[in-house]
Amino acid sequence: MPSFPCTAVVVFALLLAISCWSYEAGTTGVGCHLRPFNVTIKSDHRGNCRSKHTVQACVGYCESSAFPSKYSVLLASSFKHNITSVSQCCTIAKMRKIKVQLRCGATRHETLEVFTAKTCQCDTCRLSRY
């Protein structure tokens, strides 16, 4: 069996990690990431004051898994909870406020503050977020 010097193995692992990172960072549509959306923002239900603006949202996927429950979980659930699942959802980690200028007719303008996503992360899925 060929033997590699320790530094060669470390350099190979580092190059592999860098190439995987650059692939993830350079590919759109992979994982959990920011995505711009064009939206129409209105100040009221009738849309008297409105503007089109681009905001950021978190989209994509995160890892989830399911596996047989431990014996202690089976006992505690009277053998009804035989599968345990762990799931994560793509969600907003940090938000920021942006000011949007709304047009109200030909002459009047109104400023409105709205939130947009700043960073995204994979986090425990919670029904209250969606």
**91 vs 62: CA distance, rounded Å:** 10
* Domain boundaries along the sequence of the chain: 34-129
Please give the pLDDT value at position 30: 61
Total-model pTM: 0.60
pLDDT < 50 stretches in the chain: 1-29, 130
What CATH number has the domain spanning 34-129? 2.10.90.10
| Predicted pLDDT at 26 | 39
pLDDT given for residue 47 in this prediction: 77
The answer for residues whose C-beta is within 8 angstroms of residue 39's C-beta and 6 or more apart is 52, 53, 54, 55
Per-residue model confidence (pLDDT) at position 44: 79
**Residue-level pLDDT at 39:** 93
Structure confidence at residue 96 (pLDDT): 96
> Roughly how many angstroms between the first and final C-alpha of the chain, as a whole number?
54
